Structure 1
Amino acid sequence: MSSRTPRRAAAVAAAGVLLALAACSPSSPPESPDPGEPTPAALDRFYDQELTFGACAEYATTAIEVQALSADPTHECARLEVPLDYDAPDGEVASIALMRVPARGEAIGSLVLNTGGPGGSGLSAASTTAAALAQSPMTERFDLVGFDPRGVGASAPAVDCYSDAQADEGSVPTTAIGTTVRWTQEDTRDLAEGCAEGSGGEEVLAHLGTRDAARDMDVLREVLGDEQLTFLGQSYGTRLGAVYAEMFPEAVRAMVLDGAVDPRHDQAERRVASFVAFQRAFDQMAAFCAQQPGCPLGTDPAGATAAFQEIVRPLLDAPVPTEIGPGLDFDAAVDGVLAGLYDSQAWPVIIEGITEVQQGRGDLLQTISHVYAGRDEDGRWPNFPEANLAINCVDEERMTPQETAELRAAVVEAAPFIDPGVDLTEGARDACEAWPAEPTLGFPYAQGLEDVPPTLVVSITGDTTTPYESGAHLAEQIGGTVLTVEGEQHTVVMSGASPCVDEIASAYLVDLTVPAPDARCTL
């Protein structure tokens, strides 16, 4: 076996704690159901359907998921039918894959999960959450239910924009923010056309947004037999939960929203705030590194950004070799570091990866990125990056090339460690500019909700992608209470990492006990 195998294992172990991504923002919404109004009769066949549960292994899309979905024979999977277009319920049907983990004790209902992305697998989330919270009242009193939102994973149709080989080559980027990617109008058109061809057509791409996913979640609630929804959402999942509360306020029982996306921030504001947090995390990692022998960023944390740039900027012209693909270039190196910065436990692995780049190899940083994205050792990728792109394209307002260039500049100003030192205005285009549908989320969303039961918003002081203040803003808009968590990571509730958080979240979800406004926990 390769001498790099132990370091790959280290990356896998560290990156396993990182699975969470930021969310995004939007434009003007379609018509939503009026709160309290009866369900249109045309949707009765969806709300009245019965689920047929069975083994979960066939729902896996990668070898990693085969292992996760086969771990416990008591976990059961099914498919939920929903209309592709809720305005045309007699038309094409979408199939939503879901997993149910039965409660360990007497269930009081279902706890529906979304761990973020957008684009993350809810089936895997249900399995890993059940293991992490094996002794929690949450798993004792609730059936855990995770689902792959429309377009994601085992749901159908699923977004498919490019091949696994192209993903390995890194030849089809899906974002142009804060990177050296130089797009042409033809590039963005080819990307949209490739997604349409692989995903079932332009009509599919037009109905992958958060509002459609929220309507799917209401069908799921009814089919599971729950009069009201109990929901636990993280990162992007807080957007999905907030939009559900806006659309179906009377159908909410309880919501824990962890690592909140600010509903008032547009795309530019959200991304800049996120990269301010990434720079803060990088600086803290650099201070940790400075205390270690042989730190590649030097012994003075104040010089770490310059030291990192000196190491990675040469990759613009000369990528270093990797076992997979054409090598590690500047953008891939930055992606690996960003993925690792989601959790302080990964700092030693990031530092080792930067050292490896100094020595002329890029395997470790590449592995962190691959594990984060879910690539298995057989070379199969989940559709996480593609679904992330597609859902955001339906949610977010389009930016002009000038606005995209301005955002690129603002991002590198907020996080100078990722500054490539080249002109970022050339080829600055919105990856969604040719998407065959207008945005549907509406910005800002979930504003001043008055009919929603008290919610619990969990915010970590050192969250690396959804700043602490975003949780306070979300709580203000939906009538929530903020649980402050001291620590350095992105999201915490589903991990079992904090008995304090677990106890408070359980009391809220099971007994609807809202903590005091000054409640605090520590990681």
Structure 2
Amino acid sequence: MKHLLLLSCLWITTLLANAQNPSESLTIENKSFKSKSGTVVEAQVGSLMVPENRANPDSENISIHFIQLKSINPTSQVPLVYLEGGPGQSCTWQADDPFYLERWLPFLKVSDVILLDQRGTGAGTQRVLYITPKDVPADIFANQKVREEYLATMSQAALAEFEQRKVDLRGYTTLENAQDIDNLRQALSYEQVSLLGFSYGTHLGLAYMKYFGQHVKNAVLIGVEGLNHTFKLPSTFVAQFQKIALLAQADPKVNKEVPDLIDLYDRIIKRLEEKPVKLKVASPLTGESMPINIGSFGLNLILLSDISDASDIPVFPRLLFSIDQGDYDILQWFVQKRVGDLYGVQGMNATMDPASGASSDRLKRIEKETVDSPFRDVLSAMMQNDWPSPDLGEEFRAPFSSNIRTLLMSGTLDSNTPPYQAEEVRWGFSNSSHIIIDFAGHEQILAHPQAISTITQFLREEDVSDITLSYPALEFIPVKGSPGELSHPSIQNDYQHVTEKNED
């Protein structure tokens, strides 16, 4: 083990040392964008050429895209670098979207904002993206083995295509992403930057703070994924489902028909194990109707995919109740929402997560908790990953201490990046605040009406430690009849169902 740790430390040191004098090139052009309110924002649109794998002297060069939105503050702070979630998501598109650009206007009163795409993402960057030309098998949501065989076949096709493109997947790690941030900082001639990370962006931000902390003035981490949090604990998802069940039990619009959500779930799971439901959804490739069968595995996959989203949680009791009644319209909507995820491989995403990995102790805990989890079939499938990926090692995942001024934000309904993860990270931070937003899911933290004003206060170096934020108590959509004042796209009249009727 000591030998492996030494090799890991040497590998990281070599990567960072070899990157001290990168041969990247910077291109910039001026452009203006217009927000929803009609505000014109001046910007610089640019790209930075960096090595695909800095540990390989013969590496290809790849382009990293960014947009620097210019501040309207004549005495602005150091620029704020936004790090999107994922991994595998870009964010430069937000400048072109009037709605999203509007959200950045308060930040521009403080400083420039740099929207930075992760390597391998963004418009025109298809180098590590593979899209399958065939529709998925009908049993992909009904049979775990079918899903695994399909994904293995697609992965091999993606790897073969990446090899033809001469892609070096060893370069698609969080450390390489962090080095991209620093290369851009150097290219733009900034001594320091501030960071705003969401979800995976917090993982990337923490890596940058660990290895390049002297160049960070402030950090805002929203939905915190620490350096040893990439692989999730099964107990967190179980606790989340139990919490949802307790909230539903206390809601009079639900508890009469569904006194115990977990009992209802158990009954449906048993039925789907014996006989999957036959549905038809629209093919993401052709738009034509195609068959999809949903078993217990598929329902668990859907629940775990959205169990952290407070915009979907209110419809969960109605989803399970309708399945129990033989009505599969809501289930069909969720399947349609998720089936597109199975039509391609984002090589950056597939490589980066296993490269960050987990400590041996965390892996043992995950394995132990998986055995008794009601979601064990999905959790086992999520952990099975034969995708080639370097291991960043125990030194990368180890906790670290920092005196960087840091604001962490979490949501009480976020099981993807639960508040306790932020507290684990914060334990080593001597200059930090943690705001936990009641009834916020993963996607609702930054969307809170006071979240942006709180963050901009923090970036102006004001004290936000006594600020408390909360959403109203969670309300569930009635399990039958009209949804009333509440709504969800799965039960809206304007939802375009597939024209062919679902088979019983």
Q: Which of these residues, 46, 53, 61, is aligned with residue 85 of structure 1?
A: 53
Q: Is the 8 A contact 1:239 1:263 kept in 2?
A: yes
Q: Is the 8 A contact 2:206 2:226 kept in 1?
A: no
Q: Which of these residues, 186, 198, 211, is aligned with residue 222 of structure 1?
A: 186
SS of equivalent to 2:171:
coil
Which residue is equivalent to 2:385? 432
Give yes or no for the alignment of 1:283 onto 2:245: yes
Change (3 A) 1:243 1:419: closer
Q: Is the 8 A contact 1:289 1:351 kept in 2?
A: no
Q: How many residues align?
A: 451
Q: Which of these residues, 197, 201, 211, is aligned with residue 237 of structure 1?
A: 201
1:463 is matched by which residue type in structure 2? D
Give yes or no for the alignment of 1:51 onto 2:51: no
Which residue is equivalent to 1:194? 157
CA-CA distance at 1:409 after TM superposition: 7.0
Which residue is equivalent to 1:410? 369
TM-score (norm 2): 0.73
Counterpart CA distance in 2 for 1:124 and 1:314 is 45
Which residue is equivalent to 1:159? 128
Q: Is the 8 A contact 1:112 1:230 kept in 2?
A: yes
- The farther-off stretch of 336-345 and 91-100 is 336-345
Which residue is equivalent to 1:133? 103
CA-CA distance at 1:466 after TM superposition: 1.5
Q: Is the 8 A contact 1:149 1:155 kept in 2?
A: no
Counterpart CA distance in 2 for 1:239 and 1:193 is 28
Which residue is equivalent to 1:253? 217
Change (3 A) 1:122 1:171: farther
Q: Is the 8 A contact 1:49 1:223 kept in 2?
A: yes
1:278 is matched by which residue type in structure 2? Q
CA-CA distance at 1:211 after TM superposition: 0.6
> How do 1:394-473 residues align onto structure 2 when only pairs under 5 Å count?
394-396=355-357, 407=366, 410-411=369-370, 413-414=372-373, 416=374, 418=375, 431-433=384-386, 435-440=387-392, 442=394, 445=397, 447-450=399-402, 452-473=403-424
Change (3 A) 1:189 1:318: closer
Which residue is equivalent to 2:455? 505
Counterpart CA distance in 2 for 1:303 and 1:128 is 45
Q: Is the 8 A contact 1:54 1:76 kept in 2?
A: yes
Counterpart CA distance in 1 for 2:71 and 2:424 is 33
Q: Is the 8 A contact 1:254 1:454 kept in 2?
A: yes
2:184 is matched by which residue type in structure 1? L
Change (3 A) 1:321 1:83: same
SS of equivalent to 2:63:
strand
1:194 is matched by which residue type in structure 2? A
Which residue is equivalent to 2:291? 326
Q: Which runs of 5+ in 2 are unaligned?
A: 1-6, 284-289, 472-504
**Once the two structures are superposed, what CA deviation does each residue of 1:131-169 show, in whole Å capped at 9, x if it has no partner?**
463563x23223332233123343645423441644x55
Give yes or no for the alignment of 1:300 onto 2:230: no
Which residue is equivalent to 1:146? 115
SS of equivalent to 1:52:
strand
Give yes or no for the alignment of 1:95 onto 2:63: yes
SS of equivalent to 1:112:
strand
Change (3 A) 1:213 1:337: same
Q: Which of these residues, 467, 474, 497, is aligned with residue 425 of structure 2?
A: 474
Q: Is the 8 A contact 2:81 2:194 kept in 1?
A: yes
Counterpart CA distance in 2 for 1:319 and 1:443 is 48
RMSD (CA atoms): 4.4
CA-CA distance at 1:94 after TM superposition: 1.1
CA-CA distance at 1:510 after TM superposition: 2.7
Which residue is equivalent to 1:40? 20
TM-score (norm 1): 0.71
**Once the two structures are superposed, what CA deviation does each residue of 1:227-255 show, in whole Å capped at 9, x if it has no partner?**
21211111111110111011101111111
CA-CA distance at 1:259 after TM superposition: 1.1
2:169 is matched by which residue type in structure 1? L
Counterpart CA distance in 2 for 1:335 and 1:395 is 23
**Once the two structures are superposed, what CA deviation does each residue of 1:370-429 show, in whole Å capped at 9, x if it has no partner?**
557887xxxx97866x54323213332699xxx89x957733734x3x467x9x98xx69
Q: Is the 8 A contact 2:129 2:344 kept in 1?
A: no
SS of equivalent to 2:241:
helix
Which residue is equivalent to 2:494? none
Which residue is equivalent to 2:234? 272
Q: Is the 8 A contact 1:335 1:369 kept in 2?
A: no
CA-CA distance at 1:498 after TM superposition: 3.2
Which residue is equivalent to 1:121? 90
Give yes or no for the alignment of 1:344 onto 2:310: yes
Q: Is the 8 A contact 1:235 1:259 kept in 2?
A: yes
Q: Is the 8 A contact 2:46 2:65 kept in 1?
A: yes
Counterpart CA distance in 1 for 2:235 and 2:102 is 30
Counterpart CA distance in 2 for 1:219 and 1:321 is 48
CA-CA distance at 1:93 after TM superposition: 0.5
Change (3 A) 1:105 1:265: closer
Counterpart CA distance in 1 for 2:394 and 2:167 is 20
**Once the two structures are superposed, what CA deviation does each residue of 1:63-96 show, in whole Å capped at 9, x if it has no partner?**
xxxx99xx98867643221111113456310112
Q: Which of these residues, 425, 428, 437, is aligned with residue 485 of structure 1?
A: 437
CA-CA distance at 1:430 after TM superposition: 5.1
Change (3 A) 1:323 1:183: closer
More strand by share: 2
Counterpart CA distance in 1 for 2:445 and 2:383 is 34
Counterpart CA distance in 1 for 2:137 and 2:411 is 36
Counterpart CA distance in 2 for 1:99 and 1:165 is 35
Counterpart CA distance in 2 for 1:318 and 1:292 is 24
SS of equivalent to 2:281:
coil
Give yes or no for the alignment of 1:522 onto 2:474: no
Q: Is the 8 A contact 1:242 1:478 kept in 2?
A: no
Q: Which has the higher contact order (CA 8 A, sep 6+)?
A: 1
CA-CA distance at 1:222 after TM superposition: 2.6
Change (3 A) 1:485 1:442: same
Change (3 A) 1:194 1:305: same
CA-CA distance at 1:284 after TM superposition: 4.7
Counterpart CA distance in 2 for 1:75 and 1:368 is 38
Q: Is the 8 A contact 1:150 1:157 kept in 2?
A: no
Counterpart CA distance in 1 for 2:294 and 2:112 is 44
2:300 is matched by which residue type in structure 1? V
Counterpart CA distance in 2 for 1:249 and 1:187 is 42
Q: Is the 8 A contact 1:498 1:522 kept in 2?
A: no
Which residue is equivalent to 1:392? 353
Counterpart CA distance in 1 for 2:62 and 2:239 is 37
